[in-house]
Amino acid sequence: MASNNLVPVALTNSDKNIAQIPVQRSSSATGEGLSVFWNELQQHNEHGLYKIYHELYDSLYHYGISVVPDTQMVKEGINDVFVELWKKREQLIMPDHIPNYIFICFKRRLSKLLGKETKRSAKYVGELFQEPEEQPYEAVLINLESDGQLRHKMENVLAQLTARQKEFIRLRFYENMSMEEISQQTAASVRTIYNTLHTAIVQLRKIMSFLFLTLMWYFEK
């Protein structure tokens, strides 16, 4: 599928096959809920667009970061998609599933931005993709630290955590599941999950204060 058409008027079947919905469970963004906003958008009301933007932002950002460890590029990509939607509002047909549709547009956008980047630097060589690959949570956390020293510390601390601790952290904070939901999924008791997370976070605190000081320093600057 050509990626030059960023916001297609309608999805082809091949598009539908690659679509996955990484919309977070916390999000109230169901396809039906968003269709009201979509109608507003088509009636030239920018607030409809803004509501869709707020509903989907976290999910899009989340996904973007797991594919491209570059916050600037991800943020730009999201805004590009919405500007494009606004420009084409008169031609667009209401998609079957709005989050899905926007998600595919975003994927194409990232893929295009990555293509440009590859030409300029060798940093992403080998990552020119058809279907971008999501990195595991641990790698995402490490890659997000742009400072080499912090990255190293983060790597060390994560290495000290057990697989179970990391899994609970991922489910609670990254997937935003409640303790009860984690309990249902993993068959551990809520008490156990709480205690395991507590120990893990205390361990994380070893680098917490260090990271926090660095952050404060960035703000002072």
Partner 1 sequence: MNLQSFMAEDFMLNDSFVRYCLQSNEEDVVFWTDWIARNPHKKAETDKAREWVLRLGVKLNAAEKLEEFNKLRAMIETDQVITTPRRNYMPYVAAAVLAGCIAFAWMWKKQPSGNVQVPAIAYKTYRADSARKQIVLADGTTVILNRNSVLQVPANYNEQERHLILSGEALCDVQKDEARPFTVSAGNTRVQVLGTVFKVRAYLFDSGVKVSLLSGKVKVAAADAARELQPGETLEAQDGRLIPGNFDVAREQDWRRGRLFFRDASLKELAAQLEYWYGIKVHIKPGNYPAIHFNGEFMNKSLPEVLASISYITNLKTVIQKDELFINH
Judged by the rule CB under 8 A, the positions of this chain that interact with partner 1 are: 26, 44-46, 49-50, 53-54, 57-58, 61-62, 65-66, 75, 78-79, 82-83, 86-87, 140-141, 144, 169, 173-174, 176, 178-179, 194, 197-198, 201-202, 204-205, 208-209, 211-212, 215
Task: Give least dist CB 203 to partner 1, A.
Answer: 10
Task: Give least dist CB 115 to partner 1, A.
Answer: 22
CB-count burial class (<10 Å; 0-12, 13-18, 19+) for 76: middle
> Between residues 50 and 124, which has the closer beta carbon with respect to partner 1?
50
Dihedral angle computed from the Cα positions of residues 30, 32, 35 and 36, in that order, rounded to the nearest 10 degrees: -100
Task: Give least dist CB 64 to partner 1, A.
Answer: 10
Task: Give least dist CB 49 to partner 1, A.
Answer: 7
Dihedral angle computed from the Cα positions of residues 34, 36, 40 and 46, in that order, rounded to the nearest 10 degrees: -30
Query: Which 8-state DSSP code applies to residue 123?
Result: T
> Between residues 11 and 69, which has the closer beta carbon with respect to partner 1?
69
Q: Measuring CA to CA, which residue among 41, 191, 147, 176 is closest to residue 155? A: 147
Task: Give least dist CB 65 to partner 1, A.
Answer: 5
Residue 4 tokens read as 């030059």
> Between residues 81 and 104, which has the closer beta carbon with respect to partner 1?
81
> Between residues 12 and 209, which has the closer beta carbon with respect to partner 1?
209
- Residue 199: what are its φ and ψ, rounded to 5°? -60, -45
- CA 121 and chain centroid, separation: 24
